[in-house]
Every structure is written in C-alpha cells, then in structure tokens.
C-alpha cells in the first residue's frame, strides 16, 4: 500500500513493547460487496490457510531489499506479524489486509488503517473467481479515502522465485476511489501470486516493484 512494497504484502503484528494497535477507525466502507458463490463443475478449489505462531516469510523487493515477517500472535479475529524493523501489520483470518502500525516514542501509532479489511481473498479460491469489496483507508496525515477493490483469479501457473518453484494462483487486483466525481481517475492494478503450498503470496507486482518470497519456515 502507501508505505512500502514489503509492508503491502505482509500481514499483522504486535509491537515489541507489547502495546496493542489502535482500534480500527469508525465510519468504514461497506465491506464485501459481491463474490462468486460456486465454482464451475470440476474446478479445483483452494481453502483458507492456517498460519501458526513462528511462521516466517522472507521477502526480497527489487532484487535487493530484504525483510522477514514473523507471526507473533494469532487470535480469533486476526494474525499479527512483526518484521525485522519492528513494523506492525495485521491481517484478518481470511488474510484480508487490516493495516500498518508503528511504535513511536513508546506509543503504537496507526500509519495506514483499513475499515473494514481490504478483502484480498475470498475463500475458497478457484481459477475464474471474482469478488469485490469497499473499505475506507485512513493514512496518517492524509485523511480518509473510500476505496473499491475488485479481484479476479486469472490462472493457476507454476512460477519460480528465490524460495523455489510453486504452483500459484495469479490474482489481479483493481483499485479505485469510491467517491463522487472520481470516475475519471485511473484504476490502479496490482498482481499477486498466491501459493497454496505456502499459504502466502510468493510474488507480487506492485507499481514498479517486484516482491518475491526468498525463504519461509512453518514450524
């Protein structure tokens, strides 16, 4: 999202100081708007993964910038992860993106918070599935932006990244402002490759940045 490529593809975390992130802001979007209900006959389907405490996902962006995300807490509602620079992220249990937080002078401050979650996934997945959601993104010092995002699982393909070779679902995300008088603004497009064997995105194309999985460990 707005901070960095690595933050955009990761998930949720606890501050080292043990403080809890600020609650999600009020006045969010409408959430899930629609989703394909049933796969076509004979289609392979992929169910929601389960992350566990201690799961580690190493990512490399632009062939140079490396970071590692560790699952630090699992609740009934969300996963929390922390990265090597103690940045804080959350995803809900469907891997919907909840936002980013940062520890500043001992306080946990919201940097980029979604209300409700950006529904990056809608389970089960299959090739051809589509869904759409609406949420409000509140970026620190920028105010609120109502956003509509649509998703399409385009293909299942084998790709090779630094961490290995994986069968991955190619998911295209189209995002635009959901506010009056914004229809003429361009749609932003991102592509993610989700690998069911890992339960995580193994590649993402975000703007001009290619972000790939270069290591993972699931205890």
pLDDT of residue 181: 65
- Smallest Cα–Cα separation from 172: which of 128, 209, 114, 210? 128
For the stretch 73-77, contacts whose Cβ atoms lie closer than 8 Å and that sit 24 or more positions apart, written own/partner, are 73/13, 73/14
pLDDT of residue 140: 82
Compute the 3-state secondary structure of the chain and give helix, strand, coil in percent, each to the nearest 5: 0, 55, 40
Non-local CB neighbours of 54 within 8 Å, separated by 6+ positions? 70, 71, 217, 219
Q: How many domains does the chain have?
A: 1
From the DSSP assignment, how many helices (H) and strands (E) are in the chain?
1, 13
pLDDT of residue 142: 78
The range of the structural domain enclosing residue 205 comes to 5-217
pLDDT of residue 12: 30
pLDDT of residue 93: 98
Per residue of the chain (219 residues), what is the pLDDT tens digit?
Answer: 333 443 343 333 222 233 444 444 456 899 999 999 999 999 999 999 999 999 999 999 987 889 999 999 999 999 999 998 888 899 999 999 999 888 788 777 778 899 999 999 999 999 999 999 999 999 887 788 899 999 999 999 999 999 999 999 999 999 998 876 666 678 899 999 999 999 999 999 988 899 999 999 987
Q: CATH number of the domain at 158, please.
A: 2.40.360
pLDDT of residue 26: 54
The distance of Cα 208 from the centroid of its chain, to the nearest Å, equals: 18
Other C-beta atoms closer than 10 Å to the C-beta of 32 total 17
Q: What is the DSSP secondary-structure string of 57-119?
A: EEEEETTTEEEEEEEEEE-SSEEEEEETT--EEEEETT--EEEEEEEETTEEEEEEEEEEEE-
Read off the pTM: 0.85
Half-sphere exposure at residue 24, Cβ-oriented, CA atoms within 13 angstroms: 20
Cis peptide before 168 (omega within 30 of 0): no
Three-state secondary structure call for residue 7: helix
pLDDT of residue 27: 64
- Rounded to 5 degrees, what are φ and ψ at 210? -100, 120
pLDDT of residue 9: 36
């Amino acid at each position: 999202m707005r901070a960095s490529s690595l933050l955009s593809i990761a998930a949720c975390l606890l501050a080292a100081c043990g403080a809890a992130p600020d609650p999600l802001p009020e006045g969010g979007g409408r959430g899930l708007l629609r989703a394909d209900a049933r796969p076509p006959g004979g289609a392979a389907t992929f169910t929601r993964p389960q992350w566990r405490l201690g799961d580690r996902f190493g990512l490399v962006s632009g062939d140079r910038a490396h970071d590692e995300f560790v699952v630090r807490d699992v609740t009934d509602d969300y996963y929390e992860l922390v990265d090597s620079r103690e940045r804080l992220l959350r995803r809900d249990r469907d891997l919907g993106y909840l936002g980013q937080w940062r520890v500043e002078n001992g306080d946990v401050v919201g940097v980029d918070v979604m209300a409700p979650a950006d529904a990056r996934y809608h389970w089960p997945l299959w090739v051809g599935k589509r869904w759409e959601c609406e949420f409000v993104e509140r970026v620190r010092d920028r105010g609120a932006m109502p956003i509509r995002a649509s998703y399409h699982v385009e293909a299942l393909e084998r790709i090779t990244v630094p961490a290995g070779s994986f069968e991955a679902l190619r998911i295209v995300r189209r995002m635009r402002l959901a506010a009056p008088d914004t229809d003429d603004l361009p749609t932003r497009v991102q592509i993610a490759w989700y690998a069911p064997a890992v339960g995580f995105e193994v590649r993402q194309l975000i703007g001009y940045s290619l972000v790939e999985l270069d290591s993972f460990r699931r205890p």
